[in-house]
Every structure is written in structure tokens, then in C-alpha cells.
Amino acid sequence: MNDLPPSTHNNPPEPLPYDETVLADIRARAKQFSATAGDWLDAGKIPDEEQAQLAADFITGLRKLKKEAEAAQKAAKAPWAAKADIAYAAYKPSIEALQRGIDKVAKLQADYLREKQAELDRQKAAERAEAQRKTAEAEAALAAATARNDVMGQTEAEAALKAAEKETKVAAKDVRATVASATGGGRAMGLRQTRCAVVRNINALFLHYRDAPEVLACLETLANRDYRAAAWNGEEIPGTTFLMREGV
């Protein structure tokens, strides 16, 4: 009995989210064009004007078919994208309100945690000072007992020194301010520390990162944008050489 197929197993399959006939047409033509592209590549080189004219028509056809395929892809996606947009938009106001609430209340919580941390730091400093004082006192008592050959006094002073050292160790440990969940259903919260840079000297920063490929890509994008702008005055951008790249 356990080998029975699950319920709804014999339902018809879910309809495809695109028009199969349109896709089949594009696929068939893409296959033909790919095969022909192979023929061109097999030839290896375009030897004369006549072949170049044929190649021009082939490339035009490829581009046109690609455009058709992209348009069909967009058309197939459009109804789903519209539905996705509606679903996304339906949740958006609630999510935004919640995020605004998180941001604002978390700011209040952070203020409280900062004050709590300051209080804890003050306490820790006092504990450290107290532990140091006790250590010094115990050391002095031990030295005095040793000087007068007071065995009982030495034992007491050593015990006091040990206790003072233990207190020093505990006081040396940092304590982070946290707020526990009131009900037990939430998570404890603390001040989260994030490392971040504040730029003081952009030139020094550039020198530091100039070998990073992202920096080169960013600079190339900026320079290409200016060279391609209609308002370009023909002057080369410092550090670049203008190049008119040719392609079909």
C-alpha cells in the first residue's frame, strides 16, 4: 500500500509559461542559422567582395533573428513580469513601513545600548582599579609578614593575593552591552560593530588601490562615457589614448 503514487500524480502537467509554437519557430531558425555560421567559420576567411556581401546579409539576418528572439522572450515574460510586479508592489508598503519601524526603534535601542555600554565600561574600570588596589595591598601584606617571619600572616596574605589576582583577571575581561528578549521569543541584541572607511585623501586611496582591476574598469567606463558623449571636444583625456575601434 505504501508504494501508491502520491495524490494528484495523474493530473495534467502544468501549462508552460510561454507559447511553445513561437519558441519552436525561434529554436528551429536559430539552429539553421547556427549551422550556417558553422559553414562561414569552416570557410575560415572571407576572400572577396561577393562573399563579403553574402556575409553582410547573413550577419544582418543573425542580428534580426536575435532581435526577434529577444522580443519574443520579452513578450513571453511580460504577463508574468506584470503579475510579479503586482505581487511585489502589494507587499512593498508593509515591508517599507516595517523597515522604517526597524530603523527608528533600532536607533533608540542603539542609544540605550551605548549608554549601557558606557555604564558597564565605568563599572569595569572601577573593578580593575579595585582589583589593582587589592593586589598591591596583598603584596605589601605578604612582604611585611615575610619580613617578620609571620607564617600565619604569610598564608593569609598569599590567599588575599590569589583572590586579588583572580579579581584582576575577571575585571580585565571586556563586557559587551546586550539586551535580552523580554519574553524569551526574541534574540538578545547588542551593538553591532561594522568596519568602514572614511575617505580623507582620495589620491592616497587611489594609489593604494590602483592595481585593483575594479579601479581600471571604473576609470575606463568614465573615460568611454566622455569620449562617446556628443559634447566631446576632441581632446584626449589625460592618461588615455583615443582609439576608434572598428567592428561590424
Partner 1 sequence: MRSPTPIESALAWHSAALANPDLPRTESDPQPGWYKAQLVKGGPWLAVRIWIEAKTCPGTGELTEPEVLRATRAGEPVRPETVWLSCRPITAADYGALLRNIDALRCAERDAPLMAATRVAVDLARTPIGPRRR
Binding site for partner 1 (CB under 8 A): 29, 32-33, 35-37, 39-40, 43, 46, 49-51, 53-55, 57-58, 60-62, 64-65, 67-68
> What minimum distance in Å lies between the beta carbon of 208 and partner 1?
51
User: Quick one: 74 or 122, whose CB is closer to partner 1?
Assistant: 74
Distance CA 39, CA 32 (A): 11
Chain mean position to CA 50 = 54
> What minimum distance in Å lies between the beta carbon of 10 and partner 1?
39
> What minimum distance in Å lies between the beta carbon of 211 and partner 1?
45
> What minimum distance in Å lies between the beta carbon of 70 and partner 1?
12
> What minimum distance in Å lies between the beta carbon of 43 and partner 1?
5
User: Quick one: 34 or 155, whose CB is closer to partner 1?
Assistant: 34
User: Quick one: 52 or 180, whose CB is closer to partner 1?
Assistant: 52
> What minimum distance in Å lies between the beta carbon of 84 and partner 1?
30
- Three-state helix/strand/coil letters over the chain: CCCCCCCCCCCCCCCCCCCHHHHHHHHHHHHHHHHHHHHHHHHCCCCCHHHHHHHHHHHHHHHHHHHHHHHHHHHHHHHHHHHHHHHHHHHHHHHHHHHHHHHHHHHHHHHHHHHHHHHHHHHHHHHHHHHHHHHHHHHHHHHHHHHCCCHHHHHHHHHHHHHHHHHHHHHHCCCCCEECCCCCCCCCEECCCCCCCCCCCHHHHHHHHCCCHHHHHHHHHHHHHHHHCCCCCCCCCCCCCCCCCCCC
User: Quick one: 73 or 132, whose CB is closer to partner 1?
Assistant: 73
User: Quick one: 59 or 129, whose CB is closer to partner 1?
Assistant: 59
User: Quick one: 55 or 177, whose CB is closer to partner 1?
Assistant: 55
